[in-house]
Structure 1
Amino acid sequence: MTDAEIPRQLDAFTLWREAVDMRSRSRLGGFYYLFAWLLVWGFSAAPMANWPAGLGLGLLFGLTLALRWLHDLPTSHDPDLLRHWMKRRWQLIHFTSLAWGLVQAWVLLDEAYRDTRLIATLSTIAFSTAMVSTFAMNRRCCALAILLLYLPGLISLSRDDGNLGELVTLTFYFSYLLLALNRSHTDYHGNLALELQLIEQRDRLDTLSRTDSLTQLGNRYQFNNLFPSMVAAAQRQRGSLALVLLDIDYFKHVNDNFGHTAGDLCLQHFAERMRQVFRRDSDALLRLGGEEFGVLMPDTSLEQAQSLAESFRQNLIHRGFEVQGRTLPLTASLGVGCFEPGQDSAESFFKRVDDALYKAKATGRDRMVLASYASAQ
């Protein structure tokens, strides 16, 4: 999954991250339950005499292991689907916990497993300790899983006064696990909030690196990334891609006569006019450097691009630009072209439109010139 696909809202991000963590952290857990049972059974006094129980429980824990691997995350980030998936995952974890808790209780009561009671008890301690750090995302469900692991064994120990020391020790450790779970839960969600902040900060920095700070349009770096990918998409899909290059006429006169502050205001004014005309969501508006701008328009024919470009040029002429109490004329030269799959490369396409722009400037400015193949020769 790419960073762009990660949910950015805190609630949605938390739910998605919990599901991802549950999947990755619980897939191998089923193996350890199976392995622990094989140790308890295999090192008992007479494992072959108890082969039905050994084989049956081995198959049971093997089944829970398989279910963990087969129960995969939904491809969608829909909150309802993720909640449903997590509910089913917790049910599987709780079932496995209860199964092991009952196994330990049985082992503690059955003389045939006297030699492996310690293995069963240590396994229960290990499983519950791992849960505190592994499944801290949901405190209540995790506490229930630990309880299901411990309670059957504690009940078995309570039936024999000779096990009082072990009973008190395990009960005390159980209470410690609940306290540790609270801390792990707080740390987990604190780390989630921090992770989301870092992702958002990286997004902001990435946006800043691709945005012209003065006009808030995309910058040359953004253009250099977008242009080849859009050309490749048009080539692959045999679609259309229009490019408009724009250059403010006599911009140097504004800087020289009114100062750079007025020049900056002129650039901002020009960018705002672009947003008013080229306002489709698919249009990419960019400042390529100095007073030169560009618009990338996917799925746009040459006629559509020509119409929008001419509308923009006329808009500039009629409205002008106000600076220091005066309304100055504001015009632009434009080159317009459309990518031709099978005939253009990214470089030749840009050169055709760039040549058209310079032709507009060389033949009097305040005009639009359509890119031709002749101009690219």
Structure 2
Amino acid sequence: MTDADVPRHPEAFALWREVQDTRVRTRLGGFYYLLAWLLAWLFSADPLALLASGLGGSALFAALLLARQLHCAELGDNPVQLQRWLDQHWALLLLTALAWGQAHAWILYRAEFADSALIATLATIAFCTAMTFNFAMRRQRALLAIALLYLPGLAVLALDWTRQLALLVTLSCYLSYLLLVLGRSHREYRATLAMELKLLEQQARLDLLSRTDSLTQLGNRYQFNTLFPALVAGAQRRGEPLSLVLLDIDWFKRINDEHGHTSGDACLQAFAERLRKVFRRDGDALLRLGGEEFGVLMPNTNLIQAAALAERFRQDLAHNGLHLNGRQLPLTASLGVGSFDVEMDDDADAFFRRVDRALYRAKAQGRDRLVQA
């Protein structure tokens, strides 16, 4: 997944990050459970006498390993799907912990495994340590997994506490250490995640600034160049209408010359605000393309609908002008309007040129008018 595919919503990003970390950290874990069982079985007093249980345990841990591997597919950024994946994978982790905890207890209880009991105990310590450091993102679930791994063996040792007192105390002390480290690892993970979210928020803010015209707060030319081809491709693929309105403020240079550039900037801001009031549907994209030229992208809008809305804007502007610095400033605009047509437009550039020619015809015919492409 590329940087562009990283979820931008904080909730989705937090779940996505947890899924990615879990997928990376779980890949080899299942293999070592199988390996630990094989070592404990093969180094027992008589492996052949324990053939049925040895093969049964091997099949169980091999199946859990396979389930982990098959459950590591790529996911999108849907929070519901991400949460479902985490719940399912944690079920596998907890089931594996339960299986090993019971296996460790059984190995400690059976005299046939006396020679390999230390192998199982060391493996249990390793698995709990790995759980503490690698899966601390979900503290409560990690605690449950450690309990499933650790407590059955402690219970068996407690049954023979007079002979196993030293080992029992040592393992109990190590368990307390694991619990302390788990809390610290959880806090560190959440702090790292919070930092990533903050960086993501800053990146989104910078991305917005790079796509926004600082004067009018409309989209800028960069955003238009990114959005326009995508909308054209989508309209072409789905067979949906897409209209484009290009607007040019008439005689804008006179405003700068007669009233100053400050008034010119105020005029552009007021013009953008008037655009927002008329083209206010959720799907409309309002953009300042440069200087006094503006554009409106209108998905799911045919030529008749777009032309009617654009003409309403033109007439309102011509009749009322703009209110600037306590007085009314007469103002008009020339407009070109077109709708994407697969028979006339080979691509987005051809569509834009067709509407741009309509805008220039409106200016050449005397301005303050709308020409359809």
TM-score (normalised: structure 2) = 0.91
Aligned to 2:40: 40
The sequence identity of aligned pairs, in percent, is 60
Aligned to 1:59: 59
Deviation of the 1:96 alpha carbon: 2.0
Deviation of the 1:331 alpha carbon: 0.5
Q: Which deviations, in whole Å up to 9, do the C-alpha atoms of 1:200-233 show, x marking residues without a partner?
A: 2111111111111111111000111112222222
Determine helix, strand or coil for the equivalent of 1:199. helix
Aligned to 2:365: 363
Aligned to 2:204: 203
| Residues 8 and 200, structure 1, Cα contact 8 Å, conserved in 2 | no
- The whole-number CA distance in structure 2 between the counterparts of 1:172 and 1:299 is 67
- The whole-number CA distance in structure 1 between the counterparts of 2:195 and 2:291 is 39
Aligned to 1:294: 295
Determine helix, strand or coil for the equivalent of 2:194. helix
- The whole-number CA distance in structure 1 between the counterparts of 2:265 and 2:8 is 37
| Residues 157 and 164, structure 2, Cα contact 8 Å, conserved in 1 | yes
| Residues 8 and 200, structure 2, Cα contact 8 Å, conserved in 1 | no
Determine helix, strand or coil for the equivalent of 1:274. helix
Equivalent residue letter for 1:351: R
- The whole-number CA distance in structure 1 between the counterparts of 2:22 and 2:179 is 19
Aligned to 2:305: 304
Q: How does 1:184-203 map to 2 (within 5 A)?
A: 184-203=185-204
| Residues 239 and 341, structure 1, Cα contact 8 Å, conserved in 2 | no
Aligned to 1:93: 93
Deviation of the 1:366 alpha carbon: 0.7
Deviation of the 1:50 alpha carbon: 0.9
Number of equivalenced pairs: 369
Equivalent residue letter for 1:363: Q
Distance 1:287 1:76, change over 3 A: closer
Q: Which deviations, in whole Å up to 9, do the C-alpha atoms of 1:255-289 show, x marking residues without a partner?
A: 11111111111001111111111112221111000
Deviation of the 1:105 alpha carbon: 2.1
Aligned to 2:233: 232
Q: Which range is displaced more, 230-239 or 38-47? A: 230-239
Deviation of the 1:333 alpha carbon: 0.7
Q: Which deviations, in whole Å up to 9, do the C-alpha atoms of 1:11-66 show, x marking residues without a partner?
A: x6545544554454335422221111011112223212210110111112122223
Deviation of the 1:338 alpha carbon: 1.8
| Residues 16 and 77, structure 2, Cα contact 8 Å, conserved in 1 | no
Aligned to 1:258: 259
- The whole-number CA distance in structure 2 between the counterparts of 1:207 and 1:23 is 32
Distance 1:195 1:64, change over 3 A: same
**Structure 2 unpaired stretches of 5+:** none
Equivalent residue letter for 2:297: L
- The whole-number CA distance in structure 1 between the counterparts of 2:93 and 2:238 is 47
| Residues 105 and 156, structure 2, Cα contact 8 Å, conserved in 1 | yes
Equivalent residue letter for 1:331: T
Aligned to 1:317: 318
TM-score (normalised: structure 1) = 0.90
Determine helix, strand or coil for the equivalent of 1:245. strand
| Residues 161 and 168, structure 2, Cα contact 8 Å, conserved in 1 | no
Equivalent residue letter for 1:199: L
**Structure 1 unpaired stretches of 5+:** 372-377
Aligned to 1:167: 168
Deviation of the 1:176 alpha carbon: 0.3
Q: Which deviations, in whole Å up to 9, do the C-alpha atoms of 1:122-146 show, x marking residues without a partner?
A: 1111100000122112222211211
Deviation of the 1:178 alpha carbon: 0.3
- The whole-number CA distance in structure 2 between the counterparts of 1:181 and 1:347 is 57
- The whole-number CA distance in structure 2 between the counterparts of 1:130 and 1:25 is 9
Aligned to 1:219: 220
Aligned to 1:375: none
